[in-house]
Amino acid sequence: MGLLALGTPLTWDETKPLAEHIRNHGITQFLNTWDRWKDKTGKGLLWGDEIEYMVASFNDENKQARLSLRQTEILEKLQSVTLDPSLEKFKPACCAAIPTFHPEYGRYMLESTPGFPFSGNPSSLVAVEADMRFRRQIIRSHLKNHELPLTLTAWPRLGVTDSAFTDPDTHPDPQKSSSRSEYVGELLTNPHARFPTLTANIRSRRGSKVDIRVPLFIDEKTEIPDGLSALKSNGHTNPAKPLSGTPYIHMDAMAFGMGCCCLQITFQAWNVDEARKVYDALVPVAPIMLALTAASPAFRGKLADVDARWNVIAASVDDRTEEERGLKPLKNDRYRIPKSRYDSVDLYISNDERNKPEYHDIDVPVNQAVRKRLIEHGLDDKLASHIGHLFIRDPLVQFSETIDQDDVGSMDHFENIQSTNWQTIRFKPPPVNSPIGWRVEFRSMEVQMTDFENAAFSIFIVLLTRAIISFDLNFYMPISKVDENMQVAQQRNAAVANKFFFRRNVFPLDRSPARFDLASRPVSPPSSSPTSQTHSRNQSAAVNHSPNGDINGGDVPQTSHDRDISESSSTCSTPIEMEAGDEAAEMTLDEIVNGDSGSFPGLMGVVNAYLNSLNVDVCTKCDIRRYLDLIKYRAKGQLVTPATWIRDFITSHPAYKKDSVVSDEINYDLSKAVDEIERGVRPAPELLGKDYVGSGPTGCL
């Protein structure tokens, strides 16, 4: 999270009068960077992931798993390790550098990044998993014997009141703690001044504690609080936010959201225009990847009726006042603001003519003074509006020592606003005094329990960005539909049960799909093909990660979606109103990822086409295929999401009482199982395929 420079943090009452100063200088700083960088090109792809971990502390005698609050001590060791030359000899040959470790919001959390960013060439992609494993191994070696690093998105028992959930035990202090939470104590938050200040200032600005509600999953014996009634289950499509009068899980602190772990990918573009194009193309991809990576089915000791963290984290930092939220008429505040500062992207930013006004069909407040200033400086309206939109927000944390800055040598005021606009995609301008250029960050994904999965999703996203650039793909669709997808993506079992909007007509007008060489796939008769909706869980163990499924698309098993994409067939889509050929259609995740039976190649189709266009050796192709297959089969529903796996583990646990409760004992067994899966000692073919062995790709480790 942003900068961690030391200083004296100001309260909200002290920060508020500085807001305009910080915004003004933030824009000056951005413009200085703009002038330096607007025409610079030629840096090329470098990219890196961020993986977040929870440190769990186990008491095997009592069968208890707790969140270990030793972040400060552990990080001190990890950061000095980074400088330890003796580590070099354990470094996998394919890793570029000793990794780096960072603090995160929760005092039980760690973040790791590669020591040096990866390149995009395929042989470097197959080293990503080894790098991630190296990081995990370094963390492990610096924990106590009873501690383990887990890449769980949400700790199922964070904030329970029937037992301790931290080690050491902590207690809420609703009168004095920065969050005023009834459920979590101050010690859960990273002690660095930035974090408690952020927590307190969000609450102060909002005028009340944050109020987080996720629908409760209703089982046979679930206790339903008086006055509420269970929603009649409408298949798998219960809404991701609780309807009024229905039971929900209540949370009341930033820690419930910012204490979740995610997987983020940042990559550098050739120049600002490329960054803006890729940013736009990834906007509609964000909810799709949220659904595919969904990993958080339980909060505060109960099973939720959602599979993903997004609404929880959005509500956990929602600093909007009642006026801004539309609960009162605007009097003291300037804008009605439809979304939390942590939410999906509101505006496409590319100057591409395919970025049409009609895609901007939601209400987006913009700081018009900022927008005007940027336009007068020579920026185009699209980018000026984007920055103007970010700058409707107030700064949340300001240190008294850094109020006045050198606007040429610092981007701190700009970053103050930018880094607390937590959207699905982030457009990152170059830092000052650094060779690093324009970057884009992909931020929607939940962290996966194994580094195999984390590597797979990282590699997939990077290859997808290469395909977007190489083929000049058009993924534009109305932002309102992207927002609908964000909600749908969080619903229980969304990856299998739900349909999402996605653009079908993705190729540039002047090029026919044939040019993309997607036609080398085997043809199977449609009559023998199950449709994606009928795929069942029971098939999952049969998935074979054999290297026979090569990058040219020799796919097993065959379905109608594996047919030659040039074959025409009837469409299953429901176009929404758009110009002919410009529609977003409703499709299953299988169709969006693996292609439909018509002209839509799917995200995997364009990734395959990109790989086909490169000269990649067979061995590397096989290694990459292993990762892409995970995504392919998960999209088909033949491999389950982590959320489904965790939910199934809980509901099939002998101690589960069909009451939606994730007990201490279940949580302990789950945490142990998650670690065992990662190490490859507990098979989970339904999640990872039957060939997962818990080690990196051949030829690397």
Query: Which residue bears the tokens 């995504």?
Result: 631
CB of 218 vs ligand ADP, minimal distance in Å: 37
CB of 553 vs Mg ion, minimal distance in Å: 33
Nearer to Mg ion, 264 or 644 (CB): 264
Distance set, CA 635 to CA 190, 288, 498, 593 (Å) = 36, 10, 11, 6
CB of 607 vs ligand ADP, minimal distance in Å: 20
Give the span between the Cα atoms of 121 and 21, in whole angstroms: 44
Contact status: 186 vs Mg ion (CB under 5 A): no
Contact 315, 213 (CB under 8 A): yes
C-alpha angle 222-224-226 in degrees, rounded to nearest 5 = 160
**Residue 223: HSE in the Cβ half-sphere, 13 Å Cα cutoff:** 6
Nearer to Mg ion, 190 or 588 (CB): 190
CB of 515 vs ligand ADP, minimal distance in Å: 30
Contact status: 111 vs Mg ion (CB under 5 A): yes
Q: Pick out residues in 44-63 that bind Mg ion (CB under 5 A).
A: 50
CB of 159 vs Mg ion, minimal distance in Å: 9
Nearer to Mg ion, 429 or 637 (CB): 429
Residue 319 binding result from ligand ADP, Mg ion, none, given CB thresholds of 5 to 8 Å by partner type: none
- Give how many residues touch Mg ion by CB under 5 A: 4
CB of 114 vs ligand ADP, minimal distance in Å: 5
Nearer to ligand ADP, 468 or 650 (CB): 468
Residue 439 binding result from Mg ion, ligand ADP, none, given CB thresholds of 5 to 8 Å by partner type: ligand ADP
Give the span between the Cα atoms of 280 and 474, in whole angstroms: 9
Contact status: 1 vs Mg ion (CB under 5 A): yes
Nearer to ligand ADP, 113 or 340 (CB): 113
Give the span between the Cα atoms of 332 and 545, in whole angstroms: 59
Give the span between the Cα atoms of 192 and 180, in whole angstroms: 18
CB of 102 vs Mg ion, minimal distance in Å: 5
Give the SS3 label for residue 177: coil
Q: Pick out residues in 263-282 that bind Mg ion (CB under 5 A).
A: 264
Nearer to Mg ion, 264 or 620 (CB): 264
Residue 49 binding result from Mg ion, ligand ADP, none, given CB thresholds of 5 to 8 Å by partner type: ligand ADP
Give the span between the Cα atoms of 607 and 460, in whole angstroms: 8
Residue 131 binding result from Mg ion, ligand ADP, none, given CB thresholds of 5 to 8 Å by partner type: none
Contact 116, 81 (CB under 8 A): no
Give the span between the Cα atoms of 275 and 147, in whole angstroms: 41
Contact 404, 16 (CB under 8 A): no
How large is the angle between the packed helices 618-636 and 451-471, nearest 10 degrees? 100
How many Å is the maximal CA-CA distance in the chain? 71
User: Taking Cα atoms as reference points, which of 509, 636, 646, 634 lies closest to residue 580?
Assistant: 509
- Which residues are CB-neighbours of 457 under 8 A, at least 6 positions away? 263, 289, 292, 293, 445, 448, 631
Q: Give the helix ranges, DSSP H, for 82-187.
A: 122-125, 128-141
Nearer to ligand ADP, 128 or 607 (CB): 128
Give the span between the Cα atoms of 621 and 463, in whole angstroms: 13
CB of 427 vs ligand ADP, minimal distance in Å: 12
Contact 332, 188 (CB under 8 A): no
Nearer to ligand ADP, 3 or 408 (CB): 3
Contact status: 64 vs Mg ion (CB under 5 A): no
CB of 119 vs ligand ADP, minimal distance in Å: 10
Token couple for 283: 């906007």
Q: Which positions lie near ligand ADP, rule CB under 6 A?
A: 46-50, 102, 113-114, 117, 264, 266-268, 436, 439, 441
- Give the residue closest to ligand ADP by C-beta: 48
Binding pattern to Mg ion, positions 508-537, x when CB under 5 A? Answer: ------------------------------
Nearer to ligand ADP, 262 or 611 (CB): 262
CB of 283 vs ligand ADP, minimal distance in Å: 18
Nearer to ligand ADP, 335 or 422 (CB): 422
Residue 436 binding result from ligand ADP, Mg ion, none, given CB thresholds of 5 to 8 Å by partner type: ligand ADP
User: Taking Cα atoms as reference points, which of 456, 440, 448 lies closest to residue 265?
Assistant: 440
Residue 532 binding result from ligand ADP, Mg ion, none, given CB thresholds of 5 to 8 Å by partner type: none
CB of 268 vs ligand ADP, minimal distance in Å: 3
Give the span between the Cα atoms of 537 and 541, in whole angstroms: 8
Give the span between the Cα atoms of 395 and 415, in whole angstroms: 10
Instruction: Catalog residues that contact Mg ion under the rule CB under 5 A.
Output: 1, 50, 111, 264
